[in-house]
Amino acid sequence: MATNIGWELYRTFLGVLDAGSLSGAARALGLTQPTVGRHVAALEKSLGLALFTRSQTGLLPTDAAGSLRLYAESMRSTAAALERAAASQGAGVRGTVRVTASDVIGVEVLPPILAQLREQHSALVVELVLTDRVQDLLRREADIAVRMVRPRQALLVARRLGNIELGLFAHRAYLERHGTPTRVTDLAAHALIGFDQPSEFIRSAGKSFQGWQRESFALRTDNNLAQLALIRAGAGIGVCQAAIARRDPALTRLLRGQVSVPLETWITLHEDLRHSPRCRVVFDALAEGLKPHLQ
């Protein structure tokens, strides 16, 4: 196996994995299809491995390609982190900070915080990654994470912000049509909005709310923003963050004393970034801006 294989070959390898074809990778990477083909052939030769097999639907990764993917993705994340760090050099707060948060927090809560931050630091660039997947800060997939789970890695700097409360809500128009439940058992007669596939968090939260099961839902989606939109549209009763619901007078809290789930909320960054001016400013702004959203 050859040594000192260039990063460009691994970058193209990931592009083909993501696109499933040479032409798709070429479009995504801004290269020509022959160049992509040469990169893949050169990487296979250097590694002494077959990485793809051709099929009627495109290129299929071999087992060897699958085993290498995680390492190549780590290289891509490190390269992106290097570029962000390089762009931040110079006087003042400048450069790029990559922030990851859940879709609801990213859409409903963070925008005004980030808007104010940009007004104060015009040379700052923020990349906002919305996902419920816990992105790995150790592998530099993001610089800062807002998460509803306590970080376990020793090399992370974390601050517990408090709890975000979840409760049951419905639009006033829905309640006018179908009545207001006063007991948990009343929910069986209502259109409930909930998940399709249970996550680890849902399984944990479900222990304190036994009736919240997939079979009970009239409307199912694993997208939290879609659930929120359905509640706002008057489609039924669903779970919503209490602080978000308080902004809309048409949303009514139901069974307040019987259904309440706290989401422990943390903001985290890698220890190596704790003295970075750009990361410190974003970290502090997020921590301060999220306070009104907490219990």
pLDDT at 221 exceeding the cut of 60: yes
Does the 7-79 domain belong in CATH 1.10.10.10?
Answer: yes
The structural domains of the chain, with segments of one domain joined by +, span 7-79, 86-162+264-293, 163-262
Look at residue 87 and tell me whether its pLDDT is greater than 60: yes
Domain 163-262 top-level CATH class: alpha beta
Element (DSSP H or E) covering residue 129: strand 124-130
CB 280 within 8 A of CB 272: no
Residue pLDDT, tens place only, 64-80: 999 999 889 888 878 87
Residue 185 DSSP one-character state: G
- Give the architecture (CATH level 2) of 86-162+264-293: 3-Layer(aba) Sandwich (3.40)
CA end-to-end distance (rounded Å), the chain: 57
| Tens digits of residue pLDDT in 187-208 | 999 999 999 987 666 666 666 6
**pLDDT at position 203:** 65
Task: Please give the DSSP secondary-structure letter assigned to residue 237.
Answer: B
Q: Alpha helices, DSSP H only, in 149-241?
A: 172-178, 200-206, 224-232
How many whole angstroms from its chain centre is CA 12? 25
Q: Tell me if 86-162+264-293 shares its fold with 163-262.
A: yes
